[in-house]
Amino acid sequence: MNTLSDRIQKAMADAGLTQAELAMKVGVSQPAIWRLVAGKTNTTRKLVEIAHALGVSPEWLSTGQPPTPHKQGYVIENLHDKEARNSADIFRVEVLDLSVSAGPGTFMLSEFVEVLHAIEFTTEHARHLFGNRSEDDVKVMTVSGDSMASTFNSGDRVFVDISVRHFLTDGVYVFVFGKTFHLKRLQMQGNRLAVLSDNPAYEKWYITEESQGDLYVMGKAIMHESISYNRL
């Protein structure tokens, strides 16, 4: 299993899924899956979703290596143990190797997203935090930049509902516009989307009907965890 194409083909065969069925589960076109299976491309921003649809670890799909403990002590999820974990009253949220820009925009160097580790909650606590959302729909990303201060500070972790894939109502979204990542507040103003920063030092800008094709919503922010260090 030396290539991403090889691993996807094996996982599809094990899961009994066709390219069309996998495309439907992931929410992409069948040609997009065909390019991955045929080895025409080695990167995809849908890596985590594909792994979940196939019932395999995102880390294995990404690298061919089995999940390993994170150096901080968090354990990457083995998706084959999911049923046992559910019965153990655990709700696990994956932390992605992805920094979203609360600034002028972070250039998207790759569409390839890996899972770093996971944070575990009891299902009762998770229900209080995330409502009735599935653990597959909640991911953690890291804030980079100061355009959303004082709501978000650089280094904070933001919990994102990735089931939201288009603008619904005013709120804070993680999205790609063109080739840059953003964490911004989106607000519908007339027939265009205003992109707002909570830091007044940054000017607002707009996504118009003509440029909506460059907008890819990755999810809507639910809550955040502040990572701050104070000197004594």
Domain of residue 40 covers 1-66
Q: Where are the alpha helices (DSSP H) in the chain?
A: 4-15, 19-26, 30-37, 47-54, 58-63, 82-87, 123-130
Q: How many domains is the chain partitioned into structurally?
A: 2
Tell me, yes or no, whether 58 and 80 share the same domain. no
61 and 71 fall within a common domain: no
Considering the domain boundaries, does residue 117 fall inside one?
A: yes
Does residue 231 fall inside a structural domain?
no
pTM: 0.63
Per-residue confidence of the chain (232 residues) as pLDDT tens digits?
578 888 999 999 988 888 888 888 887 777 778 888 888 776 556 787 888 888 888 778 888 876 544 433 333 444 445 555 555 678 989 888 778 888 887 765 544 456 667 888 899 999 999 999 999 899 999 998 999 987 988 889 999 999 998 999 999 999 988 878 899 999 999 999 999 999 999 999 999 999 988 898 989 999 998 866 556 5
Same domain, 51 and 91: no
**Residue 21 to residue 195: CA distance in whole angstroms:** 35
